Amino acid sequence: MPTFPDFSPLYLDAWVMFAVYYAALVMGVFAFAHALSQRADAFTAAERMTKPAWLGITGGGAFALLLFHPFSAGGMFWLAGLVAVTVYVVDVRPRLIEVQRGPRW
């Protein structure tokens, strides 16, 4: 877990990364909770992987975001977790919502 940097304009980059770290963690938990709350048949109807696969991807991504830090030795795993949950939020989630809502006319 990162610590708060000193409040100074010299540490602006540290504050930005601190905010990105916690925003990514919140997004990872949200992605896992959203995947958990969706119907299993919606994933196949949306022509995406199955629900257990996305639960594993988003759960593993959220765990990696919690366990690692961008500037630690496991920064690569943090980045992989961020990519995994971002793909779910940007690509899979809108498609699931569209499939479950039905045609818009």
Residue 64's contacts (CB-CB under 8 Å, 6 or more residues apart) are 74, 77, 78, 80, 81, 84
* Position 7 in a domain: no
Quote the domain boundaries for residue 40: 23-100
CA distance 65 to 83: 10
* Position 14 in a domain: no
CA distance 32 to 85: 8
* Position 86 in a domain: yes
User: Rounded to 5 degrees, what are φ and ψ at 41?
Assistant: -75, -20
* Position 85 in a domain: yes
CA distance 40 to 97: 13
Walk along the chain (105 residues) and give the pLDDT tens digit of each residue: 566 666 667 778 878 888 899 999 999 999 999 999 998 888 888 888 899 999 999 999 999 999 998 888 888 999 999 999 999 999 999 889 888 887 766
Give pLDDT, residue 1.
58
Give pLDDT, residue 80.
95
Tell me how many domains the chain contains: 1
Structure tokens that stand for 90 in this block:
């940007």
Give pLDDT, residue 9.
72
